Amino acid sequence: MKKWIWSSIMLFILCVMLGNIFLMNKYEDKIYRVVSVGEFGKPKKGDIRNVLTKDGVVTSNNEETVAYNREFGLLDEILVEEGEQVTIGSSLFQYAMTDIERLEEQIKRKIEIAEAERSKIAKDIVALGSYRGTTSANQTPEAKEAAEANQRIISSQVRELELRDELLELDIEDYENQLDKLETEEASMVVQSTINGIVKSIDPSNPSEMIKILEFPYVVQGVLSEKEIRDITVGQKVYVTKDGLQHIGTISDVSQFPVDTPNLKQKESYFPFSVTVTEEPELLPFGHHLGIDIVQEESEDTTYINTSTVFRTGKEKGKVYIESNGKIKKLEVQLGIHSGSKVEIVEGLNGKELLVLKPSINMKTGTPIVLPLEGTKLHSKQLDEIGKRQIAATIGKAMLGIN
């Protein structure tokens, strides 16, 4: 084909395109448009938060040292093992109590003898009662006098036995008081824990620090830079993550003294902080490393969408596009927390809308929606087979709107 023919065709196509652009600008409101939407989605419900992520380690705020004092006696027995959990009042070790135990046995024996004697007295009193005679009008004066004398003797013997029983009862009460004192003294020979925790170490060769106990509950410790410490306060919410499990806690302490001695060679100082875990702290093993997320802002069970779905129109305002009866509809929304690819919708959506996930900024309310068909890619060999004349004719028809 001659060059002037190709030039004419291209000039014609250019004129048609320029004409279309002119007509579109002039009659824009009257032109019937459609918009192709590739993907829809709905708002989601969940938590959204911004956090400061730090590394932490499980440790204890207090280490209790329990000493063995030789002045109290010989060490008899250690009652705990390393790694064992103890509570307030748990027995840790005891001093030798040979003399106390011997005295306890002697007193218990005296109580047994006194109780046996009281039992015999009770039987004797019953037996004497059966020997009491009776008097009657038919008795001779001599018989009556003898019966009365016998009753007086038995009554006297019963009184003696009852007095002996009372004395024995007092003795038993005294013996029991002595036992109580010995038991109190014996209890003082058993050293007990004053805290809840876990036994860290036991060393009988070091009496001044024989048993060391790490106080429970444990805390999680980390460090903050000079910039980070400005935004962290005691009581701030924290998520602690170990092996994929999250535990809720709070900032319990932020030290104002750096970990290392400040000097000019350091670019920045770091300050220690502590986290108290409020949910299942017993699941955090001592000495293990984990992640700490310090919550800076958070909304729980809130509505959020992808940031690519909304156009910001202000600091806390935006617009989204939804499908409504097959057409585009614009909604104004109030924005909240922005975290990564999520943005919170405080107001403007009820959660049931069908959102245009990747909207175009020039979308307009009322524009009909069409779903795109997946196109077929043509290779260069296929284009060669079609022919240049057929390509030109197809392009021309498309530009003129001819079927």
- Report the range of poorest mean pLDDT among 18-32, 75-89, 257-271, 306-320: 18-32
Please check whether residue 234 is in contact with residue 254, taking contact to mean a CB–CB distance below 8 angstroms: yes
Percent over 70 (pLDDT), the chain? 80
Please check whether residue 175 is in contact with residue 111, taking contact to mean a CB–CB distance below 8 angstroms: yes
Give the integer Cα–Cα distance in Å for 182 and 37: 90
Residue 361, both tokens: 């900024």
Confidence band, pLDDT 50/70/90 cuts, at residue 305:
very high
- Between strands 211-215 and 197-202, the pairing is antiparallel
Cα 330 off chain centre by: 43
For residues 240-262, give the mean pLDDT: 90
Nearest to 311 by CA among 292, 329, 291, 332: 332
- Residues 352-389: tens digit of each pLDDT: 889 988 888 778 888 887 766 554 454 555 445 445 55
H or E stretch at 196: none
Angle in degrees, CA 291, 277, 255, rounded to 5: 75
User: Which backbone phi and psi does 59 adopt, to 5 degrees?
Assistant: -145, -170
Please check whether residue 40 is in contact with residue 356, taking contact to mean a CB–CB distance below 8 angstroms: yes
- Cβ-proximal residues to 179 (8 Å cutoff; 6+ apart), any chain: 104, 107, 108, 111
Please say if the pLDDT value at position 271 is more than 80. Answer: yes
- Report the range of poorest mean pLDDT among 46-55, 290-299, 364-373, 393-402: 393-402
Beta strand extents in 340-385 (DSSP E only)? 342-347, 355-356, 369-370
pLDDT at residue 280, rounded to an integer? 76
End-to-end CA distance of the chain: 25
Give the integer Cα–Cα distance in Å for 122 and 124: 6
The helix/strand/coil state of 384 is helix
| Core vs surface per residue 280-317: b (16+ CB within 10 A) or e | ebeebeeeeebbbbbbeeebeebbbbbeebbbeeeeee
Mean per-residue pLDDT over the chain, rounded:
81
Please check whether residue 399 is in contact with residue 15, taking contact to mean a CB–CB distance below 8 angstroms: no
Tally Cβ neighbours within 10 Å of residue 74. Answer: 10
Please report where in the chains the tokens 């001659």 appear, as a residue. Answer: 2
- Report the range of poorest mean pLDDT among 4-18, 218-232, 373-387: 373-387
The full set of domain ranges for the chain reads 97-188
The alpha helices in 85-202, defined as continuous H runs, are 98-131, 141-187
Give the integer Cα–Cα distance in Å for 207 and 223: 35
Give the integer Cα–Cα distance in Å for 254 and 268: 17
Tell me whether the omega of the peptide bond preceding residue 217 falls within 30 degrees of 0, making it cis: yes
pLDDT at residue 376, rounded to an integer? 46
The helix/strand/coil state of 334 is strand
> Helix 98-131 vs helix 141-187: angle between axes, to the nearest 10 degrees?
160
pLDDT at residue 261, rounded to an integer? 87
Nearest to 299 by CA among 348, 353, 335: 335
Confidence band, pLDDT 50/70/90 cuts, at residue 297:
very high
In sequence order, the β-bridge partners of residue 331 are 320
Q: Pseudo-torsion of CA 173, 174, 180, 184, nearest 10°?
A: 160
Nearest to 215 by CA among 89, 57, 62: 62
For residues 54-83, give the mean pLDDT: 88
H or E stretch at 216: none
Residue 197, both tokens: 């925790």
Length in residues, the chain: 403
The helix/strand/coil state of 70 is helix
User: Which backbone phi and psi does 276 adopt, to 5 degrees?
Assistant: -95, 120
- Residues 139-191: tens digit of each pLDDT: 677 777 777 777 778 788 888 888 888 888 888 898 888 777 767 666 667 88
